Amino acid sequence: MTFTLREPADKNDHCLGPLHAPVVLVMYGDYECPYSAVVTPMIEKLAHEYKSNLCVVYRHFPMKTIHSQAEYAVKAAEASDRQGKFWQMHKLLFKNYDSLSIQKIDDLAKELELNMNLFYKDIERQEIVDKIQNDILSGVASEVSSTPSIFINDLRYEGSSSYWPLRETIDKSLAGGESAYL
């Protein structure tokens, strides 16, 4: 059974690379998920290697029932975005996925030299709550049930979450094939 991405990537997403790239990879992740933490640097490496041929989109899918700090972490990432530092916070959260606490996340925000008064205010903004909820709902609509869940050109990637199989799938997508997804 092939699962498709129900909400295509758009300007409201967090993107590395151009949205009009020939290959668009959408990842649903959770900042406390060890598997998301492992695959994220590989995907970022691929974004750097493929430049304008690949757009990497990150969407939030916090697994709040099993990860106690997932909700605060995702709010912190979005609050950091309001100060132009989403990707920096994103990397720090994944680098520290196994030791996240409210204090640790606040320390990461300070490490990024964020305006902490604004950071705390933004964490509570309804727009941030809505953005996170939209990401979750788009994941649910696409039958995401775990993290990481990866879609390449709107089809769920079912292969290994390691570098070479992902790279091979991107290469096949660039060549016009889809067989590596299934």
Percentage of residues of the chain with pLDDT beyond 90: 94
Q: DSSP secondary structure string, 94-129? A: HHTGGG--HHHHHHHHHHTT--HHHHHHHHT-HHHH
Q: Please tell me the CATH code under which domain 14-174 is placed.
A: 3.40.30.10
For the CA atoms of 97, 5, 137, 106, what is the dihedral angle to 10 degrees? Answer: 20
Report pLDDT digits (tens) over 46-59: 999 999 999 999 99
pLDDT surpasses 60 at 22: yes
Report pLDDT digits (tens) over 126-163: 999 999 999 999 999 999 999 999 999 999 999 998 99
Residue 156 structure tokens: 């769920």
| CB environment 101-114: b (16+ within 10 A), e (fewer) | eeebbbebbeeeeb
Report pLDDT digits (tens) over 77-104: 999 999 999 999 999 999 999 999 999 9
Give yes or no for a cis peptide into 8 (omega within 30° of 0).
no
pLDDT surpasses 80 at 180: no
